[in-house]
């Protein structure tokens, strides 16, 4: 949490010695509050003052790292309750379960499937992050061998889930050096699990029944030397979990230290569609990790799409390069579709053109990454910008016609574009989903 200048000033020597290059301690404190100078510049601050400032400036939600090297996942360190106030920083990690009650071949097959859950959305790859190995057997040897196999076959960092600290130790040793997240489901075993986490250098997820119990538990975990903690409030089901996740986020942002950690949530729905709905809800509302049995791409794509949307910086729309794109084997007779350079708009159009199997040009106009209607409303998608983009693309020399297709929502621009560019304007469907039918049936007719 950012400290104010006065809060910093209280911890300084207040001698105004000027050794830091500032005329007074207060001036130094004010600069430090805006992060223009670091505490190191004051050689006289006491160890006590330093410790107090470091502790107070710790982020309200602890940063937790799971895995190593290129598979490293970081969660926590969030600073906002609402995305539009700044942005959310650390995307929710999605973990898919593997039970250690499965036989070896089934564990290997499921882990491999989980590792390959990589999908493309708006030009970006989205994927599952973690494999969650569940010690449903209760057997330590079985758990350890399932952990090793799942890590190897999925290529992902693990969440190791057990009710027993001793079993967690066995499994953690089996994937030693890979920094799995240890999850202890029995609160009575949490302190023993903390000792395992400390020995193995792993973060620890703890469960307690309710937030009060959780707030009492976390100081015991930190006393055992584990700082990287993940919280499970013990709720299952959409409503209570959503309430608990929201309360934890609110309290942590108020600097309530015992709950200042990222959270883990579990889908409990049995209906496959509802599993996706439940997981997406937890992504939208504050879960650091969502653990789910859902392993079908159709279930996970909406979850990953929600994550991509929520964790996109709202101040910086995701844009594609504004230029002329060719989809398929274009020819002089191919249609020309005009859209903006907002990623979602562009890729929606591109996906539908591909689906239509009608080769086409897509002219992406520079609207600073805003969508068709937003760009039209802010006058970035108008007759002039469309005409300029057409000219710059030099498409005219590639075609036997001078017809372009405008999105149906901005039909109002057609006369202006015709006047400004000299091209004939056709009005396409309002939604990109209408393009395949339009291109196959109507385009040929004009
Ligand atoms: S060096 Fe430290 S004690 Fe001296 S003026 Fe700067 S902040 Fe104050």
Atom 2 (ligand 1): residue with closest C-alpha? 42
d(CA 381, CA 373): 8
Which of 18, 36, 37, 46 should be mutated for ligand 1, with most atoms under 8 A from CB?
A: 18
* pLDDT (0 to 100) of residue 300: 97
The residues, ordered by sequence, that sit 6+ positions from 70 with a Cβ below 8 Å of its Cβ are: none
* pLDDT (0 to 100) of residue 350: 94
d(CA 72, CA 285): 23
24 CA to middle of ligand 1, Å?
7
Which of 13, 21, 32, 53 should be mutated for ligand 1, with most atoms under 8 A from CB?
A: 13
Decide if pLDDT at 159 tops 90.
yes
208 CA to middle of ligand 1, Å?
45
Q: What is the mean pLDDT of residues 348-377?
A: 94
* pLDDT (0 to 100) of residue 255: 83
15 CA to middle of ligand 1, Å?
6
257 CA to middle of ligand 1, Å?
29
d(CA 326, CA 126): 24
Decide if pLDDT at 1 tops 60.
no
Decide if pLDDT at 51 tops 90.
no
Decide if pLDDT at 59 tops 80.
no
Which of 18, 44, 45 should be mutated for ligand 1, with most atoms under 8 A from CB?
A: 44
Number of H helices, E strands in the chain: 16, 17
Q: Is the pTM of this model over 0.85?
A: no
Which of 9, 17, 43 should be mutated for ligand 1, with most atoms under 8 A from CB?
A: 17
* pLDDT (0 to 100) of residue 38: 81
62 CA to middle of ligand 1, Å?
30
Which of 22, 23, 36, 53 should be mutated for ligand 1, with most atoms under 8 A from CB?
A: 22
Percentage of the chain beyond pLDDT 70 is 98
- The helix (H) or strand (E) run that includes residue 404 is strand 403-406
Q: Which of 106-110, 123-127, 180-184, 220-224 has the lowest mean pLDDT?
A: 123-127
Q: Are 352 and 358 in contact (CB under 8 A)?
A: no
Atom 6 (ligand 1): residue with closest C-alpha? 20
Decide if pLDDT at 7 tops 90.
no
Atom 8 (ligand 1): residue with closest C-alpha? 25
21 CA to middle of ligand 1, Å?
8
Decide if pLDDT at 446 tops 60.
no
Each residue of 264-320: pLDDT tens digit?
999 999 999 999 999 999 999 999 999 999 999 999 999 999 999 999 888 887 899
Identify the residues whose C-beta falls under 6 Å from ligand 1: 12-13, 15-20, 22, 25, 28, 42, 44
37 CA to middle of ligand 1, Å?
12
- The helix (H) or strand (E) run that includes residue 95 is strand 93-99
Q: Are 284 and 83 in contact (CB under 8 A)?
A: no
* pLDDT (0 to 100) of residue 33: 82
Each residue of 227-253: pLDDT tens digit?
999 999 999 999 999 999 999 999 999
Residues in the chain: 446
18 CA to middle of ligand 1, Å?
5
Task: Tell me the pLDDT of the chain averaged across its residues.
Answer: 94
Decide if pLDDT at 2 tops 70.
no
Each residue of 98-134: pLDDT tens digit?
999 999 999 999 999 999 999 988 888 999 999 999 9
Alpha-carbon distances of 360 from 20, 121, 354, 425, rounded to whole Å? 64, 21, 9, 16
22 CA to middle of ligand 1, Å?
7
* pLDDT (0 to 100) of residue 318: 83
Decide if pLDDT at 153 tops 60.
yes
């Amino acid at each position: 949490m950012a400290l104010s200048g006065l809060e910093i000033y209280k911890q300084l020597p207040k001698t105004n010695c000027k050794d830091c290059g500032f005329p007074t301690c207060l001036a130094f404190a004010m600069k430090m509050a805006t992060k223009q100078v670091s505490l190191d510049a004051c050689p006289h601050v006491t160890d006590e003052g330093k410790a107090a400032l470091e502790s107070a400036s710790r982020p309200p939600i602890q940063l937790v790292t799971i895995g190593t090297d290129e598979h490293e996942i970081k969660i926590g360190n969030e600073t906002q309750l609402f995305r539009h106030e700044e942005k959310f920083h650390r995307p929710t990690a999605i973990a898919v379960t593997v039970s250690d009650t499965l036989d070896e071949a089934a564990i290997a097959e499921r882990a491999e499937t989980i590792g390959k859950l990589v999908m493309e959305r708006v030009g970006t790859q989205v994927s599952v992050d973690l494999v969650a190995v569940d010690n449903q057997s209760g057997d330590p040897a079985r758990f350890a061998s399932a952990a090793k196999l799942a890590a190897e076959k999925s290529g992902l960092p693990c969440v190791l889930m057990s009710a027993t600290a001793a079993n967690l130790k066995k499994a953690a040793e089996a994937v030693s050096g890979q920094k799995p997240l240890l999850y202890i489901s029995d609160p009575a075993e949490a302190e023993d699990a903390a000792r395992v986490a400390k020995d193995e250098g792993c973060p620890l997820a703890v469960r307690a029944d309710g937030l009060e119990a959780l707030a009492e538990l976390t100081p015991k975990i930190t006393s055992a030397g584990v700082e990287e903690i993940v919280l499970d409030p013990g709720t299952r089901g959409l409503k209570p979990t959503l309430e608990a996740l929201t309360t934890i986020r609110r309290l942590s942002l108020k600097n309530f230290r015992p709950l200042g950690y990222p959270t883990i949530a579990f889908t409990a729905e049995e209906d496959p569609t509802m599993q996706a709905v439940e997981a997406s809800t937890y992504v939208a509302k504050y879960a650091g990790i969502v653990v789910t049995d859902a392993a079908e791409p159709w279930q996970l794509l909406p979850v990953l799409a929600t994550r991509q949307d929520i964790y996109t910086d709202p101040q910086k729309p995701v844009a594609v390069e504004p230029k002329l794109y060719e989809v398929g084997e274009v020819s002089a007779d191919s249609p020309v579709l005009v859209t903006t350079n907002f990623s979602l708009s562009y890729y929606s159009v591109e996906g539908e053109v591909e689906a239509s199997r009608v080769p086409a040009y897509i002219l992406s106009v520079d609207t600073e990454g805003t969508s068709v209607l937003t760009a039209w409303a802010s006058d970035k998608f108008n007759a002039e910008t469309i005409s300029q983009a057409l000219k710059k693309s030099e498409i005219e020399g590639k075609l036997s016609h001078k017809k372009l297709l405008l999105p149906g929502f901005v039909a109002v621009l057609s006369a202006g574009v015709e006047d400004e560019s000299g091209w004939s304007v056709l009005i396409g469907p309002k939604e990109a989903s209408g393009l395949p039918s339009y291109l196959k049936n109507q385009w040929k007719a004009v």
